[in-house]
Amino acid sequence: MVNIGACVKEPGSTRNNKTGSWRTFKPILDKEKCIECENCVLFCPEGCINKDYDIDYDYCKGCGICAEECPVKAIKMERG
């Protein structure tokens, strides 16, 4: 049954849609090299890098912005 007016009462329910299946390349972050500048955290369109620099691969679309913006090249894009 469609909600009245097609309103959605569960906030953030796009979390049910795992966009990780979209990607061709996947970022691998080397925490040893990481200087915790927060670039990748701020610039990820999905917001799927948390403050501990763990990447949520359920949602990562593999756009490569994080790898591109990392000032110390701690992120490499690999197939998968």
Q: Kindly state whether residue 79 participates in binding other proteins, applying the rule CB under 8 A.
A: no
Q: Which is nearer to other proteins, 29 or 62 (CB)?
A: 62
What is the distance, to the nearest Å, from the Cα of residue 7 to the centroid of all Cα atoms in its chain?
A: 27
Q: Is 6 in the site for other proteins (CB under 8 A)?
A: yes
> How far is 20 from 18, CA to CA, in rounded Å?
5
Judged by CB under 8 A, the residue of 28, 31, 33, 59 near other proteins is: 59
Please select the residue that binds other proteins; options are 32, 35, 36, 63, rule is CB under 8 A. Answer: 63
57 binds other proteins (CB under 8 A): no
Name the residues that contact other proteins, by CB under 8 A.
Answer: 1-19, 22-23, 42-48, 51, 56, 58-59, 61-65, 67-69, 77
